[in-house]
Amino acid sequence: MIIPYNELSEDALQALIEDFVTRDGTDYGQDEMSRQEKSAHLLELLKTGELLISYNEESETCGLVTKEELKN
């Protein structure tokens, strides 16, 4: 299930983004970015629809996926 980012509270959205940017193995390419820059970048991707919030009802977990990942 896809959850529109604007249906989450600001605190819940920020927590989800923070969880994602602090995970081991998160790669942003050759350019090193601060946590705040990464968070802002992910929020912008959510606003443009390139990044989506996916909720798995079976495991009751959510995560961020790209529009391309969702198509596969």
Q: What is the CATH number of the domain that holds 66?
A: 1.10.10.610
In a domain, 28, yes or no: no
Taking only the tens place, the pLDDT of each residue in 57-67 is 999 999 899 99
In a domain, 27, yes or no: no
In a domain, 49, yes or no: yes
The answer, as to whether pTM is greater than 0.85, is no
Taking only the tens place, the pLDDT of each residue in 18-58 is 999 888 655 555 567 788 998 999 999 999 999 999 999 99
Range of the domain at 15: 2-22+34-71
How far is CA 22 from each of CA 7, 14, 15, 18, rounded to the nearest angstrom? 23, 12, 11, 6
Confidence class for position 71, pLDDT limits 50, 70, 90: confident
In a domain, 48, yes or no: yes
- As for how many domains the chain has, the answer is 1
